[in-house]
Amino acid sequence: MRYYTALTIAGSDSCGGAGIQADIKTMSALGVYATSAITAITVQNTKGVYGIQNVEPEIVKGQIEAVMEDIHPDAIKIGMVNDCDTIRAIAETLKKYQESFQHLVIDPVMVSTSGCRLMQEDALDVFITELLPLATLLTPNIPEAEILANRKIENVEDIKAAAAAISKLGCRYVLIKGGHFDGEEKIDYLFEGGKQKTSYRGISVNTRNTHGTGCTLSSAITSYLAREMDMNTAIAMAKTYLSGAILAGKDIKIGEGHGPVNH
């Protein structure tokens, strides 16, 4: 039987709603065997992030190599990467294996919902020059897209201009997630080579349980890509999965802050 596999390179979230924990739950739920390379350990609950310990870059590199040499994942996802040295180590390691994987989804995690910096400010340049060009798909939300494109986003025309600027950094597909957009509708926009390809309308759910939404979406896309779906289908199905998870968990009470989307 063909067994699909994926690798997540991301940070640990002790409260289990985001990061590596969300990624492994999502990939497992979608029938994909999940492997991991942990970049950082966060001290975190639903109310906030209280500490970050980066894993030594050599150990991050070692985890990726161990998985790549043995399991040969069908698709890879990158989430939280905190500092310059870690980002350089990941980029150098992945470049060695570029021929052996098809899809790399990068979720440019910068700041947690609770307001804690998950990528150091001085790591942004290295992230843009070393890691971004390796991505098949980048999944920024509006604030992240504003930082990457270095321009304000206030309307759909700004989203298009930001996507064109981000595409020039070297990734093939860009999915700009409209969840933080102040417009009437929550729409995600997919661009290929800077040109708009399609858009996805999202459901609006009244709940505090939104912790880990971005991690869950990018992991679900990675899982469907690993299962050989094309980009448009993978994103559409990942959005359906995420909406189902949010709806199913909207009234569950886990923790006192923003509860997890992923149970």
Question: Active-site residue 244, yes or no?
Answer: no
> What's the angle, vertex CA 235, arms to CA 233 and CA 236, rounded to 5?
65
Question: Active-site residue 210, yes or no?
Answer: yes
Of 6, 7, 8, 13, the one binding ligand PLP by CB under 6 A: 13
Only one residue has tokens 């290929």, namely 192
Q: Which of 74, 66, 59, 61 is nearest to 27 (CA)?
A: 74
Question: Active-site residue 215, yes or no?
Answer: yes
Q: Which of 137, 140, 126, 147 is nearest to 170 (CA)?
A: 137
CB-based contact 214:156 (threshold 8 Å): no
Q: Which is nearer to ligand PLP, 211 or 239 (CB)?
A: 211
Q: Does 79 bind ligand PLP (CB under 6 A)?
A: yes
**Distance separating alpha carbons of residues 253 and 258, to the nearest angstrom:** 9
> In terms of C-beta density within 10 A (0-12 exposed, 13-18 middle, 19 or more buried), how is residue 86 classed?
buried
Q: Does 136 bind ligand PLP (CB under 6 A)?
A: no
**Distance separating alpha carbons of residues 156 and 141, to the nearest angstrom:** 14
- To ligand PLP, the closest distance from the beta carbon of 214 in angstroms equals 5
Task: Give the interface segment with ligand PLP, choosing from 106-114, 132-140, 183-191, 244-252 (CB under 6 A).
Answer: 106-114
- To ligand PLP, the closest distance from the beta carbon of 131 in angstroms equals 15
Task: Give the interface segment with ligand PLP, choosing from 110-118, 150-158, 235-243, 246-254 (CB under 6 A).
Answer: 110-118
**Distance separating alpha carbons of residues 25 and 8, to the nearest angstrom:** 11
Question: Active-site residue 171, yes or no?
Answer: no
What DSSP character marks residue 56?
P
- To ligand PLP, the closest distance from the beta carbon of 132 in angstroms equals 16
Q: Binding string, 36-75, against ligand PLP, x = CB under 6 A?
A: ------x-x-------------------------------
Instruction: Tell me how far CA of residue 122 lies from CA of 22, 73, 85, 126, in angstroms.
Output: 27, 31, 11, 8
Q: Does 86 bind ligand PLP (CB under 6 A)?
A: no
Q: Does 26 bind ligand PLP (CB under 6 A)?
A: no
SS3 state at 104: strand
Q: Which is nearer to ligand PLP, 93 or 216 (CB)?
A: 216
Question: Number of residues in contact with ligand PLP, rule: CB under 6 A?
Answer: 18
> In terms of C-beta density within 10 A (0-12 exposed, 13-18 middle, 19 or more buried), how is residue 62 classed?
middle
Q: Does 214 bind ligand PLP (CB under 6 A)?
A: yes
Any idea which residues carry the catalytic annotation? 177, 210, 212-215
| Interacting residues toward ligand PLP by CB under 6 A | 10-11, 13, 18-19, 42, 44, 79-80, 109, 112-113, 118, 211-215
